[in-house]
Amino acid sequence: MKSAGSRFRAALEHNQPLQIVGTINAYTALMAEKVGHQAIYLSGAGVANASYGLPDLGMTSLENVLEDARRITAITETPLLVDIDTGWGGAFNIARTVKEMIRAGVAAVHLEDQVQQKRCGHRPNKQIVSKAEMVDRIKAATDARTDAGFFIIARTDAFAQEGLEAAIERATACVEAGADGIFAEAVHSLEDYQAFSEALSVPVLANMTEFGQTPLFTLTELHRAGVAMALYPLSAFRAMNAAALKVYQCLLTNGDQKDVVADMQTRSELYEFLNYHDYENKLDELFKQ
Ligand SMILES: C[C@](O)(C(=O)O)[C@H](CC(=O)O)C(=O)O
Ligand SMILES: [Mg+2]
């Protein structure tokens, strides 16, 4: 079996752009895999929000994110991209983060140039570290690779503060430092993506997060702009949250769930994704009366 990183590289080669979908937990990863997605994502915001009920402000740790990543890699071979925020510290911490991610069966990570007290990329008043410091982060990450296939994406949040040219310059420096891909965060237009992809020799990632700074471009539009990876970090999570809220409100208001049963995934659908019957048959076979 090829390493997770090599599987990610293969998926990237065969899908242009490669859709990378957020899977907030192991079960949603199973659903994404079974409907045919080739790459999945563990969002930093998602771990903070869903697993800890916290905002995406750099409050979760390496161990917190690893725990959620391991649950996903234990159940699916679909390559997983993980958001490692700022890498959780200096060069040695970043090296340890990369090694632990590889050990956990993760295929790829993105490491960003915000200060440790980071914010969501689509919020105002983000602060970034110097280009030199970001290059050091990337060098620490690429040097720590214990699997040559492991895919390291440098994310730059520089566009918001410093504009397109400076952001491309920073991205170029990250590529020179060994980054395998560039995540151009919170850019505004297809022309911006085009400029990144034309200037860089590595695949560019576009973040199609909803309710942010970037319009929700189609896959065809992104392809034309030279984008290689399209990320949907929290799309399913946002939809799940709205559905759950509706159920909680309905139970309170109506005193029963009849009005929302039609919105629910059925027991048999759930069992299908879980391969439930295979497990049950095995049990019957092993413990025949
Ligand atoms: C991609 C991201 O880093 C994430 O953690 O999922 C977020 C997504 C979001 O908050 O919409 C980001 O873009 O900063
Ligand atoms: Mg994030």
Q: What spatial distance separates the first Cα and last Cα of the chain, rounded to whole Å?
A: 38
Q: What pLDDT, on a 0 to 100 scale, did the predictor assign at position 1?
A: 74
Q: What pLDDT, on a 0 to 100 scale, did the predictor assign at position 267?
A: 97
Q: Is 120 in the pocket of ligand 1 (CB under 6 A)?
A: yes
User: CB–CB of 87/47 below 8 Å?
Assistant: no
Q: Could you tell me if 224 and 246 lie in one domain?
A: no
Residues 243/24/41/140 CA torsion (nearest 10 deg): 140
120 tagged catalytic: yes
Q: Could you tell me if 205 and 86 lie in one domain?
A: yes
Residue ranges making up the domain that contains 278: 241-287
- Spatial CB neighbours of 100, under 8 Å, sequence gap ≥ 6: 62, 66
User: CB–CB of 47/60 below 8 Å?
Assistant: yes
Q: Binding residue per annotation — 169?
A: no
Of 207, 238, 241, the residue with max ligand 1 atoms within 8 A of its CB, to mutate for a pocket test, comes to: 207
Q: What pLDDT, on a 0 to 100 scale, did the predictor assign at position 206?
A: 98
How many other C-beta atoms are found inside a 10 Å radius of the C-beta of residue 28? 19
ipTM of the complex: 0.99
**Which ligand number lies closest to the CA of residue 184?**
1
Q: Could you tell me if 103 and 23 lie in one domain?
A: yes
Q: Could you tell me if 120 and 222 lie in one domain?
A: yes
Question: Tell me, what CATH number does 141's domain have?
Answer: 3.20.20.60
41 tagged catalytic: yes
Per-residue pLDDT tens listing for the chain (289 residues): 799 999 999 999 999 999 999 999 999 999 999 999 999 999 999 999 999 999 999 999 999 999 999 999 999 999 999 999 999 999 999 999 999 999 999 999 999 999 999 999 999 999 999 999 999 999 999 999 999 999 999 999 999 999 999 999 999 999 999 999 999 999 999 999 999 999 999 999 999 999 999 999 999 999 999 999 999 999 999 999 999 999 999 999 999 999 999 999 999 999 999 999 999 899 999 998 7
Which is catalytic among the residues 25, 33, 68, 83? 83
Kindly state the tokens that stand for 246. Answer: 């509706």
Q: What pLDDT, on a 0 to 100 scale, did the predictor assign at position 288?
A: 85
Q: Is 58 in the pocket of ligand 1 (CB under 6 A)?
A: no
Of 234, 235, 237, 241, the residue with max ligand 1 atoms within 8 A of its CB, to mutate for a pocket test, comes to: 234
Q: Could you tell me if 260 and 213 lie in one domain?
A: no
Q: Could you tell me if 252 and 224 lie in one domain?
A: no
3-state per-residue secondary structure call for 242-281: HHHHHHHHHHHHHCCCHHHHHHCCCHHHHHHHHCHHHHHH
Q: Could you tell me if 266 and 154 lie in one domain?
A: no
Q: Is 121 in the pocket of ligand 1 (CB under 6 A)?
A: yes
CA-proximal residue: ligand 1, atom 1 (nearest): 233
pLDDT digits (tens, 9 = 90+) for 24-67: 999 999 999 999 999 999 999 999 999 999 999 999 999 999 99
Q: What pLDDT, on a 0 to 100 scale, did the predictor assign at position 214?
A: 96
Q: In angstroms, rounded to a whole number, what is the distance separating the alpha carbons of residues 105 and 22?
A: 17
